[in-house]
Structure 1
Amino acid sequence: MQYLPLALVSALVLVLHAAGVVAAIHALMHTRTPQGAVAWVFGLVLLPYFTLLPYLFLGSKRFTGYAELHHSRLARLRQLDDPAQRALAAQYPPHAGAQRYQAISKMLGVPFLSGHRLRLLVNGKASFDAIFEAIAGAEHYVLVQFFIIHDDELGRRLQAALLERAAAGVRVHVLYDGVGSHELPASYDAILRAGGVQIHRFATRRWRNRFQLNFRNHRKVVVVDGWRGFVGGLNVGDEYLGLKPPLAPWRDTHMELQGPAVADLQLAFDENWHWITGEPLALLPPRAGEGHATSLIAATGPADAQETCSLFFVQAIHAARHRLWLATPYLVPDSAVNAALQLAVFRGVDVRILIPAIADHRTVFLASSLNAHEAVRAGIRVFRYQPGFTHQKVLLIDDDTAAVGSMNLDNRSLRLNFEITALNIDTMFASEVEQMLKADFAQAIEIDASEYGRLHYLYRVLIHVARLFSPVL
């Protein structure tokens, strides 16, 4: 058996440490949080043998071109003082309650507009029945974007629905995330392309995007003819219909909106499409909605100058006066969101959080468990949903505001992924969300403040260790 000469081994070690120092400087300059920067710097300097390769795919933020496109489109399309925007706001004046969230509007450059018809879609069957019905009625175009598309029964139903519309002369555009949909076979795309559907994998960086685990496109968007829009937590797969134990029954929420904010929903899709294809889409303006709800589409992501998803949650929580109910599959908030939740308790707000009782990602579940116990000690009521896995991302504020979308309460949503949520001000819609969440809480068990002390000591160590990985969860 031959061994490498000592001089060659020494040279390799020296090169690895030099590369680690260079990568550590990059991490120091570009990592968004001090905690993340400290973790990467120490790991890269001291243990480059183990951290260099992960940093290549987890730490590097390489989508400057996308950021430039994003900022230029914001400057051109989303100025609140633009005459066209002011005319739109005059035509669809927002509810007075929108003033509490004006910081979100200014941050994103997107106006609150009234004139929306909203429909709450509880669970997968209701959501996909509505989506397929809308697609079947498409006359001009269909825009479809999901984080995950599986080549299973539901995925093939979507494929057939899109092929049918493409055969009828309707323009069909599909985006999916390369990592989220890593199991999707090439044949799925090929069948759609052969039938006239334009389909692409979303990428922030071309050659290595499939291995870049950060900066994924987690949005779930469907727009039909520019006037029917769908957004929420569901992806395309049989598990989202509750057909795959042990996570079944799967609990999730989507919504449909009709009205002027659909323009911002499809513009978010168009920005992604423009980046991938180099060509913007020809889009129709939304029809006037047959309703009175005020809505805003909050499209957030790591290309923004600020951490817009985290700030969205912070401002929404600060706006709560007497009630804040939150449903999330992952409870791994950053310090800003955590502080906002605790301050809400001190203001006398009824803060409740619904989380799963079973795990789909073990490390995230363990970290969420520790955060849940600490939240309970801070006066926040936390409930574990019992029938199955709850994946919904829903926020209910007071008696008039409800948000439904793709934003999880974890670092990936808050800083690393592209997300989208509809923030709606309407007492009737909020009442529907209230009744839905009441039914969910009724099937949940509240975490007792003394429960942490009853946990086995080794399990307590385990959940503390799991939370150390919060920056990448």
Structure 2
Amino acid sequence: MAETLLSIGLEVAALHVLGIVAACHAIMNTRTSQGAVAWAVALVSAPYLTLIPYLFLGRSRFAGYVDEHRFNQARAQVRSDADLNRSDVIAGLRRDASAVPELRRFLALDQLVGRRFLAGNEVRLLKDGTATFEAIFRAIDEARHYVLVQFFIVRDDALGQELQRRLLARAAEGVKVYFLYDGIGSHALARRYVETLRAGGVQIHAFAIRRVSNRFQLNFRNHRKIVVVDGQTAFVGGHNVGIEYLGDNPRLSPWRDTHIRLCGPIVAQVQRAFAEDWYWVTESMPALRTPVSAPGDMSCLALHSGPADLQETGSLIIVQAIHAAQRRIWLTSPYFVPDSAVQSALRLAVLRGVDVRVLLPCRPDHFMVYQASLLNTYDAVRAGVKVYRYQPGFQHQKVILIDEDAAAVGSANLDNRSFRLNFELTVLTVSPAFAADVEAMLLADFAQSIEVDRGEWGSIPLLQRVVMHVVRLFAPVL
């Protein structure tokens, strides 16, 4: 008995020593002070409950991708710049944000992502799943050289099978097809779906955490949604591949989402983001082509972010967008768990007299995130932010409208996961015509929404308030 107690005591002591070591690691490596304090206290006081979760959830920097990301970014930059310089059509169309008045207020974004605005683009809104996938399938059917496909969620349902059929048809015609899906977001994807594509000549891989150096980094996701055809047309936005995105999930239907179709020089920046992810997975570069035409007059910048960035790129993008607004900033997201920097930026915008609106869903798809979103909603409303709940169905679009001349559409939500833990891609377009289209779309959405009243908080039961405050403790990983 004495030996057994001694053994148990030594094991407990060893766990506490490991907890202290892990707490030191958290203090030195966690990006936010709140997260560092939370992990350190939990690891020291209850290591037997928190050591294993810390292995999977504690890291905020995607190890391994960082060095390869830098190397590949430099390599892709050389290739992209060489192609751009060889193109008579695109040469001279790159915009310096410091030299063009309407772009000057976005100078920080230009510097943050290390890319410049590109002029000569055409951007078209795709306002629902049907319009989005009809346009994507039409472009895939017209592919002659290659197709790049990347989604967070891919399902083996009617929509996924239709995508599969079209990709197999193009591969059979000699078109190169590169397909990335997130290994965690698409965890339920049937093996036969992947094997059928691979057998048909499609190069398909999961963006998965399988290397020895980062096998515990399951907290990171590749949340990007990208389709590029022949380097001439690109699609970016909020849709994944599943019938719920067409409105076929009764609990969340109708599904409200937004995608965009891009043509022009900006396609080069979008496919560069895909190439960096492809290199991480395969250690090879896809053979890419450069856009050969400038079909429009819109200036665009691809805003890529992720846990491999040296700075808090995701959060800084939103903060800068809010600071750039002089008259209005309208934001849509399925989740509203912003960090303190974004919360402060929204409050300051209200104090500057900016029309600040946030459009959220009225129905939850994830309980914990919804409860945390509720608490942040009431905090924002008390600060003067106008928050609306979309009534017809689930609101999943990620759109930002800035003043009368700028709008952004992409994959990033207004939460810490998109700010720091996910690889995301958003395209900012500076164009009064495109901003007007986005305004009309959002006004229609607001017309089907109910504004959150300041007095609503008083009617929330005490138990639900406790739940919301407890859930908010997990905001760094929601």
Residues paired across the two proteins, number? 470
Residue of structure 1 in register with 2:386 after alignment: 381
Structure 1 segment 398-409 matched on structure 2, within 5 A:
398-409=403-414
SS in 2 for 1:226: coil
Q: CA deviation at 1:157?
A: 0.7
Q: Distance in 1 between matches of 2:212 and 2:155?
A: 23
**Equivalent residue, structure 2, for 1:462:** 467
Greater mean deviation of Cα atoms: 11-20 or 37-46: 11-20
Q: 2:320 aligns with which of 315, 318, 322?
A: 315
Q: Which amino acid aligns with 1:7?
A: L
Paired position in structure 2 for 1:327: 332
Preserved contact between residue 234 and residue 254 of structure 1 (Cα < 8 Å): yes
Alignment of 1:8-19 (within 5 A): 8-19=7-18
Q: Provide the rounded CA distance (Å) in 1 between the counterparts of 2:266 and 2:299.
A: 9
Residue 73 of structure 1, CA deviation: 3.3
CA contact (8 A) 1:78 1:109 kept: no
Between the aligned partners of 1:230 and 1:309, the Cα distance in structure 2 is 20
Give the SS at the match of 1:243. coil
Matches of 2:330 and 2:91 in 1, distance apart? 29
Instruction: Tell me, yes or no, if the aligned pair for 1:221 and 1:230 is still in contact at 8 Å.
Output: yes
Match of 1:361 in 2: 366
Q: Using the TM superposition, give the Cα deviation of residue 84 of structure 1 relative to its aligned residue in structure 2, in angstroms.
A: 8.0
In 1, distance between residues paired with 2:249 and 2:26? 40
For 1:415, the aligned partner's letter is: R
- Rounded Cα–Cα distance in structure 1 between residues aligned with 2:12 and 2:208: 34
Q: What is the deviation of 1:231?
A: 0.3
- Unaligned runs of at least 5 residues, structure 1: none
The alpha-carbon deviation at position 207 of structure 1 amounts to: 5.5
Instruction: Identify unmatched segments of 5+ residues in structure 2.
Output: none
Question: In structure 1, what is the equivalent of residue 71 of structure 2?
Answer: 72
Residue equivalent to 1:28: 27
Matched, 1:229 2:234: yes
1:178 alignment counterpart: 183
Q: How far off its partner does 1:76 sit? A: 4.6
TM-score by length of 1: 0.95
User: What residue in structure 2 maps to residue 250 of structure 1?
Assistant: 255
Give distance in 1, aligned partners of 2:476 and 2:380: 19
1:445 to 2:450 alignment? yes
Other-structure match for 2:218: 213
Q: Cα offset for 1:90?
A: 2.5
Per the TM alignment, residue 311 of structure 1 is displaced from its structure 2 partner at its CA by: 0.4
Task: Say whether the 8 Å CA contact 2:95–2:118 is kept in structure 1.
Answer: yes
Moved more, 22-31 or 156-165: 22-31
Q: Which residue of 2 aligns with 1:142?
A: 147
Query: Does the 8 Å CA contact 2:237/2:260 hold for their aligned counterparts?
Result: yes
- Structure 2 distance, partners of 1:209, 1:189, is 24
* 2:327/2:403 contact within 8 Å kept: yes
Q: How far 1:209 sits from its partner (Å)?
A: 6.9
Secondary structure of the 2:221 match is: coil
Match of 2:58 in 1: 59
Render the CA deviation track for 1:421-472: whole Å, top value 9, x for unaligned: 0000111111111111011101111000111012112222221111111111
Match of 2:122? 117
- 2:92 aligns to what SS in structure 1? helix
Matched, 1:272 2:263: no
Deviation at 1:60, TM superposition (A): 3.1
> Residues 143 and 172 of structure 1 are in contact (CA less than 8 Å); yes or no, is this contact kept in structure 2?
yes
* Secondary structure class of the residue paired with 1:387: coil
* Alignment CA distance shift 1:62-1:12 (3 Å): farther
> What displacement does 1:368 show?
0.6
Tell me if the contact between 2:72 and 2:279 (Cα under 8 Å) persists in the aligned partners.
Answer: no
Rate the CA distance shift 1:3–1:427 in 2: closer, same or farther, 3 A. Answer: farther
Q: What is the CA distance between 1:208 and its match in structure 2?
A: 9.2
3-state SS of the aligned residue for 2:265? Answer: coil
Question: Are residues 159 and 209 of structure 1, via their aligned partners in 2, closer, same or farther at CA, if it must alter by over 3 Å?
Answer: farther
Identify the residue that residue 98 of structure 1 maps to in structure 2: 103
Q: Does 447-456 or 136-145 show the bigger shift?
A: 447-456
> What is the CA deviation profile of residues 71-128 of structure 1, one whole-angstrom value per residue up to 9, with x for unaligned ones?
223345559xx89879967234466311110110111111101100111000111000
Q: How far apart, CA to CA, are the structure 2 residues paired with 1:421 and 1:207?
A: 31
Q: 2:113 aligns with which of 108, 111, 122?
A: 108
Query: What is the aligned partner in structure 2 of residue 418 from structure 1?
Result: 423
Comparing 82-91 and 263-272, the one that deviates more: 82-91
**Identity percentage of aligned residues:** 57
| Cα contact 2:306–2:423 (8 A) shared by 1 | yes
